[in-house]
Structure 1
């Protein structure tokens, strides 16, 4: 019972850092093309894939918004539920959307009662869970009818292709600036879900405070630190 989040809502394709580095590295020569031909081919494939993702993402967003508007309103009990002053549902004027923090708190409460050995419908939140399932079933049906579910499956398919492609790029040695350009392109592709623009997501890693909550080793943080600083030098034209 998770809330839909399409790639554009996560901030699709935050590649500003890679763009700055590409500009600093300059154009690829014929010799570079020959030396890193495999990487360059994968870079072109990644660019084409990202264009497909953007189109599929825009379609899924539009269809999801339509399905949200068509979905029946949540029950009065769901609309009345809040956690620390935050309502479970927000009404944007174009349908109701789940509010992440109260939603997570509700599920945690249910798990708490189950961990205590309370089964069946014998816990206070049970009616809310039943109402929530009914609302989500209605939303899911609306997404099935208007094609949103199919669009999301296509996004998942493209994401799987992108992951495999980036793994192949990472394991293919780069011997020229043009090859490095492709690797930076792949790195930007992998980190497009981080908040902010430019190098903010790299800074989050260096400070060991990523949004995903995972810690990083000192070696990893150093690698990202070097990458960030080199990006700055290249974007500035390597003066001095």
Structure 2
């Protein structure tokens, strides 16, 4: 399909550029003019049409890649991978499962690893958690959504690691692809995205203080806010 007929992006004003670029790219992709397999305009073309720099554009594209909408291949450009927020690939059963079932499983898993982490965490575990928590907040403030999502996932994995239960850690790692996709889609659907940093900070403090009852409360709240 000829991409020259699809160049109708407007210049992005100076505010949260990544949000604006995501919004415009989604509008264009789902406008009905693209089909699965079609190539997007080249990176220089998109930068010119959107009036943004390379880093801003690439950040937006990363989110769309994580959401399974775009696919980037070196030397071949960026193409439309899917026009749905689902995929038929590795862990398809989990990714295509009912969202309520996924949240039920996550609630049980998050709760159990957090309880164990509160009882078993070491100083090294706490340092890892705090490092990921600080990075999560910093990347969100900068609008680096892909890095924000990665730091969020690493924070939860560090809690699972602190549980000292290798089976639960492996189970949590199996959720990473769906967590990354779900968070990416949440950002795409919420252009005025606000996260639940306060709950994450409370989870950390409860684990630090080995307050199991608070850990239970905040771990459940975190999943229910997704």
Report the TM-score range of the alignment, normalised by the length of the smaller protein.
under 0.3
What's the TM-score, normalizing by structure 1?
Answer: 0.23
What's the TM-score, normalizing by structure 2?
Answer: 0.24
Greater C-alpha Rg: 1
Name the structure, 1 or 2, with higher relative contact order (CA <8 Å, separation 6+): 1
